[in-house]
């Protein structure tokens, strides 16, 4: 099983590229940066390169490091990535992240169908 918003992570948690992209691009706290990455997810110019359907260990995507004091934690402290996930994403409403490959002329139809069941495009 892979992580989705609302799930609690631990040191063994696996995550899809799509779920990590959502976390990193839409929910990442401004006072944190990433260091010591074992599995690259961005290239040298900041483009996200981890495939949406890739499944990787969350903690292999680096350590979350605070750039300023946060909740009594001194700046520059390395926290495992699952620690930051739990701080931010485990508190989200429980949801599934679903990615599709679809013909371009069918995208609007899929979005409309997804909206009917309460899904939102991210």
Residues 21, 10: Cα–Cα separation, whole Å: 18
Using one digit for the tens of pLDDT, what is the confidence trace for 19-31?
Answer: 999 999 999 999 9
Instruction: Check: CB of residue 17 under 8 Å from CB of residue 54.
Output: yes
Look at strands 78-80 and 63-66 and give their pairing: antiparallel
Using one digit for the tens of pLDDT, what is the confidence trace for 87-113?
Answer: 999 998 887 777 788 899 999 999 999
pTM of the model: 0.77
Using one digit for the tens of pLDDT, what is the confidence trace for 60-69?
Answer: 999 999 999 9
Using one digit for the tens of pLDDT, what is the confidence trace for 31-81?
Answer: 999 988 877 888 888 888 899 899 999 999 999 999 999 888 899 999 999
* Residue 57 per-residue DSSP state: E
Residue 120 CB neighbours (<10 A): 8
């Amino acid at each position: 099983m892979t992580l989705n918003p609302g799930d609690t992570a631990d040191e063994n948690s696996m995550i899809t590229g799509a779920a990590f992209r959502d976390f990193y691009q839409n929910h990442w706290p401004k006072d944190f940066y990433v260091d010591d990455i074992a599995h690259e997810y961005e290239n040298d110019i900041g483009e996200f390169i981890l495939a949406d359907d890739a499944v990787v260990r969350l903690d292999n995507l680096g350590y979350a490091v605070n750039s300023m004091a946060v909740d009594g934690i001194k700046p520059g402290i390395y926290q495992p990535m699952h620690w930051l996930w739990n701080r931010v994403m485990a508190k989200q409403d429980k949801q599934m992240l679903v990615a599709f490959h679809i013909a371009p002329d069918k995208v609007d139809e899929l979005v409309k169908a997804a909206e009917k069941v309460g899904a939102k495009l991210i």
